Copies of this chain bind each other. A is one copy, B any other.
Amino acid sequence: MDSITVIPGDGIGPEVVECALEVLDALDAGLSIDVLDHVHADRYRREGQALSEADLSRISASSAVLLGAVGRPDVEETGYVRDVLLRLRISFDLYANYRPVRLMHDRLSPLRDPARRMLDCAIVRENTEGLYSGIGGNLRASSPQEVAIDADVNTWHGVSRILDFAFSTARREVCLVDKANAVRAGGRLWQECWRHAAERHPGTATRHLYIDAAAMKLVTEPDRFDVIVASNSYGDILSDLAAALAGGIGVAPSASLNPQTGFGLFEPVHGSAPDIAGKGVANPFACLLTTALLIRHLGHEAEAAAIDAAVAGSIAAGRVTPDLGGSLSTRQVTQAVLASL
């Protein structure tokens, strides 16, 4: 029996995770579930670390992690989010961040042109290096002579494997997004690895855009994209932008995978949303779609498809929370989804 670790986290995290757990329970998918509800901002404040070595080893005994959200305004300027999210990504070498983005209902699109509006792509984001390396520091901090350096580190190893993953998920095309015309060292590496990867996958069409042009084309020609592959930082930006074009982070799932070990961290793209936390109006769809990704990854295709269909049905019927233009509570949406399973 597969076991999954659940980290509800902060803000709306516990609210949307509760919904996901009810749905999993109703599906009876035969998963054992280990809830780590002590991993949150309070513990970070108290102990300087939210995720202990003991937690990491409990997690490593499972097949995947479902995480609600981490983050809280009072710990915003500490290393808290890095301490949880980035540590999980690094500890388990979850180098492939996979964010499918699909317009689930015409009504959700912020775009005007019905012929262009249809977005059905995936952002594949390198998840373990680049600007997120954590390497760097501040010289003469807090003085007018301060110099801050963050190293954007890219390796042949890291770039090649994420490109291969991107090609492995493509249906027709992979579009590389970089800024090789201005950021030269990483640019040359990505470009060379890209040429090799394209040769290894001759059946897939390729395309290349600079990050500024990619941001623009996502708005003007969203329907043209299949798989977009980008560095950690550009992938972060493009996946939120794409999510906005497909109805917002309220319906955006995400997975951080290690394709070799099979281990994965699954989290909705939205954060802890402190402004609406505790009000009972958090949109559980992103967490449900994330749960579907997770169980599909573990081989439960039928159950995953059932969740996707139930969410799509609720959206089509207008049974949605305020962020999607509805008036239902998290609870009511959960009931609607459970009823249609």
- Tell me the nearest residue of chain B to A240, going by C-beta: B212
Whether A186 pairs with B148 at a CB distance below 8 angstroms is yes
Task: Write the A253-289 contact mask toward B (1 if CB under 8 angstroms, else 0).
Answer: 0000000000000000000000000000000000000
Interface string of A172-214 (1 = CB under 8 A from B): 0000000111111110110110000000000000000001110
| Chain B residues closer than 8 Å to A116, beta-carbon distance | 110
Assess A184 versus B237: contact at CB under 8 Å? Given A148-B155, A157-B144, A244-B215: no
Evaluate contact between B188 and A148: CB separation under 8 angstroms: yes
Q: Write the chain B residue with the least CB distance to A135.
A: B149
Q: List residues of A (124-168) whose CB comes within 8 Å of B's CBs.
A: 131-132, 134, 136-138, 141-157, 160
CB pair B183–A131 under 8 Å, yes or no, is: yes
Q: Are A219 and B110 in contact (CB under 8 A)?
A: yes
Which residue of B has the minimal Cβ distance to A236?
B212
Number of interface residues of A (CB under 8 A): 69
Given A111-B111, A152-B131, the answer on whether A219 and B244 have CB atoms closer than 8 Å is yes
Q: Is the CB of B150 within 8 A of A149?
A: no
Chain B residues with CB below 8 A from A305, complex form: none
Residues on B with beta carbons closer than 8 Å to the beta carbon of A179 = 131, 233, 236
Which residues from B are CB-within-8-Å of A81? 181-182
Closest to A191 in B: B77
On whether A240 and B220 interact (CB within 8 A), knowing A82-B181, A150-B186, the answer reads no
CA of A211 to CA of B238, assembled, Å: 10
Q: Tell yes or no: A54 within 8 A of B by CB.
A: no
Instruction: Tell me the number of copies of this protein.
Output: 2
In the complex, chain B residues whose CB is within 8 Å of the CB of A191? 77
Is B149 in contact with A151, judged by CB distance below 8 angstroms? yes
Chain B residues within an 8 Å CB radius of A79: 184
Let me know if B76 and A132 touch, CB within 8 A: no
**Alpha-carbon separation in the docked complex, A237 to B218 (Å):** 12
* A184 contact from B82, B110, B240, Cβ within 8 A: B82
Q: How far is the CA of A160 from the CA of B147 in the complex (A)?
A: 12
B86 touches A182 (CB 8 A): yes
CB distance from A252 to the nearest CB of B (A): 10
In the bound complex, do residue A143 and residue B131 qualify as a contact, i.e. CB atoms below 8 Å apart?
no
Nearest CB to that of A140 among chain B residues? B156
- Are B156 and A146 neighbours in the complex by a CB distance under 8 Å? yes
The one of B148, B216, B233, B238 in contact with A185, judged by C-beta atoms closer than 8 angstroms, is B148
Quick one: which of B112, B141, B152 contacts A109, CB cutoff 8 A? B112
Residues 227 to 263 of chain A near chain B (Cβ within 8 Å)? 233, 236-241, 243-245, 248-249
Does A113 lie at the interface of the complex (its beta carbon under 8 Å from any beta carbon of B)?
Answer: yes
Task: Say whether A153 contacts B148, CB under 8 Å.
Answer: yes
A82 touches B182 (CB 8 A): yes
**List of 8 A-B pairs having minimum Cβ-Cβ separation, nearest first:** A212-B240, A146-B156, A216-B244, A148-B189, A148-B185, A136-B185, A215-B241, A219-B244
Q: Which residues of A contact B (CB under 8 A)?
A: 71, 76-77, 79, 81-82, 86, 109-113, 116, 131-132, 134, 136-138, 141-157, 160, 179-186, 188-189, 191-192, 211-213, 215-217, 219-220, 233, 236-241, 243-245, 248-249
Given contacts A82-B184, A150-B185, A183-B233, list 12 more A-B pairs with CB under 8 A.
A71-B181, A110-B113, A110-B116, A138-B189, A144-B156, A146-B189, A147-B154, A149-B152, A149-B154, A212-B240, A217-B244, A219-B219
